[in-house]
Structure 1
Amino acid sequence: MGWASPARDHALETLRTAVGHGAELLDVADVFGHGRAERLVGRLLREVPRDQVRIAVGVGRAPGTSTHPFAGTALRRQFEQTLENLGTDHLDVYALDRLDFGPDDEHLGDCLAQMRALREDDHVRAVAMPAPDPHHRNPEAAARRFVRLFKVIRPDIVTLRHNGLCPPIRLDGEYIADFTARQGVGLIVREPLALGVLSGKYDPRRPPRFGTGDSRRGHPWFTPDTLTAIEPELSRLRARFGPDPRILVRLAVQHCLRLGEHTAVVVGATDPEQAGAHHGPGPESTDEEARFVDETYRRMRSRLADRLGHVPGPARARARGARTALR
């Protein structure tokens, strides 16, 4: 569920199809559609047993009438509105969408106190915090801040933007998957398909155009330069595994799942057909095939760096005023 206001019947049928094909985790945020996305998920929850799906909700981008999303009791008020929108009495995951707690982290204490109270009262089953942006301009500084806040927040889960176009994230000298596994913390991976780019469905000669409210609009992954740079490696995957975009989707998702047994992957879909294809069963890659895919993605990142001077990502898009794609 993304930023644009969803067309209700179409989006609800997409959710039904995803759950019908085995999706167990629904990922939404309080700002998506200004609450309409949450209410849409609430309609689905009236149709399926509550324990059949897990609901993850992101918080931290909508200040409401407060001066900051985490100031005072703002988080608690937003949480109560989220429960009302969803029509449920608890969240499986309540995820901080960002680590901005105001100047000198002045709102961190308020935020943590409310998160811990919700956790202790069993209104929230797990608390999540976001990993550093893989495209951060200063990855070392971002990693240091994350590790410091990790020790304070003590999350149950880390949310991670990860796909074949994202540089690996290292924390205290180890990859983030190893860091979280060692800490006994789960991973929720977002954007495993690089917003659909890794499905191979976009032609660099005719780059896509997205409407107002679509978070992909203006994103650097959809420029002719980016699509042209990665096309030879997508062709390499097609030659090895076949031309069907659903195969490339499966390879991209399995690439993320190989981060470890503590990993869940959120795969987006814009219509029921996509939802069925993205969540349908498929054969597991062999170890040799997995190595081939990993090496191909590494070559993609290398091609982007050689052609553009960097690997483009959402952090650079935000610097130009575009909105980050979420789910």
Structure 2
Amino acid sequence: MEERTAGRLGRSLSVIGLGTWQLGADWGQVAEEDALAVLAAAVDSGVTFLDTADVYGDGRSERLIGAFLRGLGSARAGGIVVATKMGRRGPQDPAEFTLDNFRRWNDRSREFLGVETLDLVQLHCPPGAVFSSAAVYEALDALVAEKRTAAYGVSVETCAEALEAIARPHVASVQIIINPFRQKPLTEVLGAAREAGVAVIARVPLASGLLSGRYRHDTVFAPEDHRAYNRDGSSFDVGETFSGVDYDTGVEAAAEFAALAPEGATPAQTALRWVIQQPGVTTVIPGARNAGQARANSAAAALPALPEATLEAVRELYDRRIRPLVHHRW
């Protein structure tokens, strides 16, 4: 699989990675056996980048990844980059983002992942004030100096937060929602990140599954699935669920998007191909609940580039159906 890097990160990442929120919680139940099979299928398909967080299942996702890597052996596991996140297990108060807390959060993640030094740790969509705090970045620099982590980045909700972080000299990566239903980062963030040498990790690439084209107006999600309980943003930022798009509008727009898929590609693969074609994207991190989904996601990297006519059709769909709902918000 194609790999890309960015100057500040200093590591190559597979252009399609694996997001592992669903292996921890909030997407319905995923058995441990199935979770390990997803990880194996992704890595066997060429994935070298795994993204997790300390809050996913309160550490379950990190523990599963740690067990999986131990099973691979040191030689093979050494070629895989694992990014985790910190900052959402406690109060969302900027005063909580201190060096002492960072050390404590990092030590927990290092234990669960079974590593001395994290490859990459990211602030996990913290309160907006955190991004402008010089003390926060000094504390993150200390984690690198202490070899608790090799590099640090941020996961953000808004383009403004991304730009604030990119301006800091040691931020190695920015993780942000990018998909055919969330296009503002294409003009607001990608160019600035590319110029600064900051890796861009594109998350929620399928708009919580909408862009797979599998969902209907009457689809029922499990009660523990955020697509059931967070449509109003009552648990966390509503932009994380269906990219903030009204569900019924999203179903209809996704049907239009599905019609643009080229022969031999699924709508989900088309969405992933669209993301990795955007200049400045380093990697995209779709989730998968079973091994078949992981293999299908990875196969999108080998698809031919989407033609300009398709890219234009996606822009038109966004402008007509989606832009008024999301562009001004994130």
Deviations 1:45-64 (A, max 9, x none): 11123312110101121128
1:310 is matched with which residue? 324
1:22 is matched with which residue? 46
**Residue 213 of structure 1: CA displacement?**
2.9
Distance across 2 between alignment mates of 1:77 and 1:114: 12
2:298 is matched with which residue? 279
**Residue 90 of structure 1: CA displacement?**
1.6
Q: Does 1:268 align with 2:293?
A: no
Corresponding letter in the other structure for 1:248: P
Corresponding residue SS for 1:128: strand
Retained in 2: the 8 A contact 1:165–1:311?
no
Retained in 1: the 8 A contact 2:212–2:268?
yes
TM-score scaled by structure 2? 0.77
Retained in 2: the 8 A contact 1:95–1:129?
yes
2:148 corresponds, among 106, 123, 138, to 123
1:42 is matched with which residue? 66
Retained in 2: the 8 A contact 1:30–1:57?
yes
Distance across 2 between alignment mates of 1:197 and 1:65: 29
| Aligned CA distance change for structure 1 residues 109 and 18 (closer, same or farther; 3 Å) | same
Distance across 1 between alignment mates of 2:91 and 2:71: 30
Retained in 2: the 8 A contact 1:162–1:191?
yes
2:82 corresponds, among 55, 61, 74, to 55
Q: Does 1:227 align with 2:227?
A: no
Show structure 2 runs of 5+ residues with no match. 1-19, 232-240
Q: Give matches, 1:186-225, under 5 Å.
A: 186-204=199-217, 206=218, 208-217=219-228, 218=231, 219=241, 221=245, 223-225=247-249
Retained in 2: the 8 A contact 1:93–1:127?
yes
**Residue 148 of structure 1: CA displacement?**
3.9
**Residue 85 of structure 1: CA displacement?**
0.7
**Residue 28 of structure 1: CA displacement?**
0.5
Q: Give matches, 1:100-179, under 5 Å.
A: 100=127, 105=130, 108-133=133-158, 143=160, 146-152=162-168, 154-169=170-185, 175-179=188-192
TM-score scaled by structure 1? 0.77
Retained in 2: the 8 A contact 1:63–1:74?
no
| Aligned CA distance change for structure 1 residues 213 and 76 (closer, same or farther; 3 Å) | farther
Retained in 2: the 8 A contact 1:70–1:101?
no
**Residue 146 of structure 1: CA displacement?**
4.4
Say which one has the larger Rg. Answer: 1
Identity of aligned residues (%): 23
Moved more, 82-91 or 215-224: 215-224
Distance across 2 between alignment mates of 1:271 and 1:72: 38
Corresponding residue SS for 2:272: helix
Retained in 1: the 8 A contact 2:166–2:198?
no
Corresponding letter in the other structure for 1:257: I
Deviations 1:233-262 (A, max 9, x none): 422x14xx23x6x53223212211122366
Corresponding letter in the other structure for 1:100: P
2:57 is matched with which residue? 33
Corresponding residue SS for 1:157: strand
**Residue 79 of structure 1: CA displacement?**
0.5
Corresponding letter in the other structure for 2:211: L
| Aligned CA distance change for structure 1 residues 292 and 42 (closer, same or farther; 3 Å) | same
Corresponding residue SS for 2:289: coil
Corresponding residue SS for 1:90: coil
Retained in 2: the 8 A contact 1:195–1:216?
yes
| Aligned CA distance change for structure 1 residues 181 and 210 (closer, same or farther; 3 Å) | same
2:266 is matched with which residue? 247
**Residue 95 of structure 1: CA displacement?**
0.9
**Residue 40 of structure 1: CA displacement?**
0.7
Moved more, 214-223 or 87-96: 214-223
Retained in 2: the 8 A contact 1:301–1:311?
no
Retained in 1: the 8 A contact 2:193–2:280?
no
1:299 corresponds, among 316, 319, 324, to 316
Distance across 2 between alignment mates of 1:51 and 1:209: 41
| Aligned CA distance change for structure 1 residues 229 and 20 (closer, same or farther; 3 Å) | closer
Deviations 1:134-154 (A, max 9, x none): xxxxxxxx62x5434433463
2:102 is matched with which residue? 75
Retained in 2: the 8 A contact 1:118–1:124?
yes
Retained in 2: the 8 A contact 1:62–1:69?
no
Show structure 1 runs of 5+ residues with no match. 134-141, 317-327
2:120 is matched with which residue? 93
**Residue 312 of structure 1: CA displacement?**
4.7
Distance across 1 between alignment mates of 2:132 and 2:92: 16
2:7 is matched with which residue? none
Corresponding letter in the other structure for 2:154: M
| Aligned CA distance change for structure 1 residues 176 and 84 (closer, same or farther; 3 Å) | same
1:185 is matched with which residue? 198
Distance across 1 between alignment mates of 2:131 and 2:294: 41
